[in-house]
Amino acid sequence: MGIIEVQNEIVEEFSLFEDWMQRYEYMIELGKSIELIDPSNKIDSNLIKGCQSKLWLHAELKKDKLIFKADSEAIITKGIAAVLLRVFSNQTPKNIIEAKLEFIDKIGLKEHLSPTRANGLLSMIKQIKYYALAFNKN
Amino acid sequence: MAFNVNKIREDFPILKRKVNGYPLVYFDNAATSQKPKKVIDSIVDYYENYNSNIHRGVHSISQEATDAYEDARKKIQKHFNVKESKEIILTSGTTHSINLVANGFTKLLNKDDEILISELEHHSNIVPWQMMCEKNGAKIKVIPLTSKGELNYDSFLNLLSKKTKLVFVNHVSNALGTINPIKSIISKAHEFGAAVLIDGAQASSHIKADLQELNVDFYTTSAHKLCGPTGIGMLFGKKEWLNKIPPYQGGGEMISEVTFEKTTYADLPHKFEAGTPNIVGAIGFGMALDYLNNIGFDNIESYELELLNYATNKLKEITGFKIYGEAKNKTSVISFNVGELHSYDIGTILDKFGIAVRTGQHCAQPVMDYFGISGTVRASFSFYNTKEEIDYFCKSLERAVAMLS
């Protein structure tokens, strides 16, 4: 599935929720089934900076697609990471680089986009894009 | 004056606002306090009626502004029971004050000297000293914590020696609320000829410190912690010390005579007040002290203790609740975790309910390292918080825990 289709799917899922509590509960659920990073990759060089809780991100190129795995000490951060991984994992570096991010606003998580927020969401998106740039060169 | 919290709350405009559709429950007072209308009005009044640069002007409103600024200094002097007003330096806050002193001691200490820093300190009372020690080679020794979040007094006594030149302790810990026994720490340090700097930033909204009685060498605080504006604070220093240490920042106001061959410095306090100060900030600072003294610190202390005990007892009923910092003497701060949940998660959900708490390391990583944790949720109460707010907080916390489990 292309990135745009995945994003639309996610926006549709979230639109079923009436309030923040349902949205957060869903995100917490998503976090529980995230593609978990291998414990051996929970190293400092995989830590996303700017997070109040530890957030690890690992990237690997399989054939022509980038596979991301992540984990976090905080459940909500894990949930947000799970949403991002659904959008960006198993996509080509080129598609990741060109991807737009309006879906975050549409699912009611715009507040997490502020750079002052201590959950590293912006940093994680930046890191995903950096990986895509790096793997695209090769 | 009889203490009436509901009447007091009417003085604070921000307490009427809503967050995410819920009434704001502001439990982040240790980070910064809310401001009463009197303080806000004094700031507007300054800019509307007599804004002017101070000290050098000969015109009328310059004189009015100068009088208001120096009156604020006198209010601070009176509040802290300081002998001479020139021992009160107006700074941009505690961090600035501590850096000023650290800079001053750079050339006075050397590699044979030791300084004692408590494990409870906020980074602003650790980092400037580390930077100083890099320059002059002095050694830092750490006064350790106990599991109750108090300073290990016996270890402190063992660390003191004739090599000790400076001791740094916060009056109240911002991370745990512990009130440290600073009077005896100061007296013991003096027996060894060491000077003591007490970081009073966290304490000043709860405790009225008598600096002559404490006989402390340096004491710092920030106005924004005690219902005053941001960007202004004070450094008290005994004049013998302030005369000994060199200026921190050079510029206008702090000079006596300037030529390119040589410049001489002004007397205290202006020697340490370079440039145009935060004039309106000082005025707001003075007004905040007036406001608090009108309520009375005895009233503030006893009411906040009531809130602390009420909240602590209610929170202890929550499964998995773990408190950090159970000193015998505490201010109204509760640092805690619930089970294995990360403080960030709890703080985020509480915010959704309109509750403002702080999460994380509270600029006190050594404290977090001591307890082996990544951070805590910190609820800090002020004299304008209520038991009803605490009830709501506890209910919301239970809901947050249920969502996250």
Q: In the structure encoding, which two tokens stand for residue B363, read together?
A: 């600029």
Q: B20, B345, B376: best mutation site toward chain A, by most A Cβ within 10 Å?
A: B345
At B286 the three-state DSSP class reads helix
Cα separations (Å) of B138 from B99, B165, B241?
Answer: 16, 9, 19
Confidence of residue B338 (pLDDT cuts 50, 70, 90): very high
CA distance B221 to chain A (A): 26
Burial class (CB within 10 angstroms; exposed 0-12, middle 13-18, buried 19+) of A64: exposed
Q: Which residues in chain A touch residue B374, judged by CB atoms under 8 angstroms apart?
A: 53-54, 73
Q: Where do the domains of chain B lie, and which CATH numbers do they carry?
A: 5-30+297-404 (3.90.1150.10), 40-293 (3.40.640.10)
The answer to whether the CB atoms of A74 and B345 lie below 8 A apart is yes
Burial class (CB within 10 angstroms; exposed 0-12, middle 13-18, buried 19+) of A138: exposed
Nearest to A75 among B345, B352, B375 (CB): B345
| Residue reference for tokens 């004299």 | B383
> Residue B161: what pLDDT?
97
- Kindly tell me if the per-residue pLDDT of A111 is higher than 80: no
What is the share, in percent, of chain B residues with pLDDT greater than 90? 92
Nearest to A53 among B344, B352, B404 (CB): B344
pLDDT digits (tens, 9 = 90+) for B78-127: 999 999 999 999 999 999 999 999 999 999 999 999 999 999 999 888 99
Q: In the structure encoding, which two tokens stand for residue A47, read together?
A: 């830590």
With an 8 Å Cβ cutoff, the interface of chain A facing chain B consists of: 20-21, 24-25, 28, 52-54, 73-77, 118-119
Query: Which of B:290-349 have CB within 8 Å of A?
Result: 341-345, 348-349
pLDDT digits (tens, 9 = 90+) for B269-291: 999 999 999 999 999 999 999 99
How far, in Å, CA of B175 to CA of B379, rounded? 10
CA distance A76 to chain B (A): 6
The DSSP annotation for B214-229 comes to: HT-SEEEEEGGGGTS-
CA distance B324 to chain A (A): 19
| Residue reference for tokens 């203490």 | B3
The answer to whether the CB atoms of A28 and B374 lie below 8 A apart is no
The answer to whether the CB atoms of A21 and B352 lie below 8 A apart is yes
pLDDT digits (tens, 9 = 90+) for B196-254: 999 999 999 999 999 999 999 999 999 999 999 999 999 999 999 999 999 988 887 88
Tell me the pLDDT of chain A averaged across its residues.
Answer: 87
CA distance A1 to chain B (A): 31
> Residue B1: what pLDDT?
57
Q: Which residues in chain A touch residue B353, judged by CB atoms under 8 angstroms apart?
A: none
> Residue A19: what pLDDT?
86
Q: Where do the domains of chain A lie, and which CATH numbers do they carry?
A: 3-137 (3.90.1010.10)
The DSSP annotation for B17-76 comes to: -EETTEE-EE-BTTT-----HHHHHHHHHIIIII----SS--SHHHHHHHHHHHHHHHHH
The answer to whether the CB atoms of B348 and A76 lie below 8 A apart is yes
> Residue A67: what pLDDT?
95
Q: B20, B343, B348: best mutation site toward chain A, by most A Cβ within 10 Å?
A: B348
For strand B255-258 and strand B263-265, is the pairing parallel, antiparallel, or unpaired? antiparallel
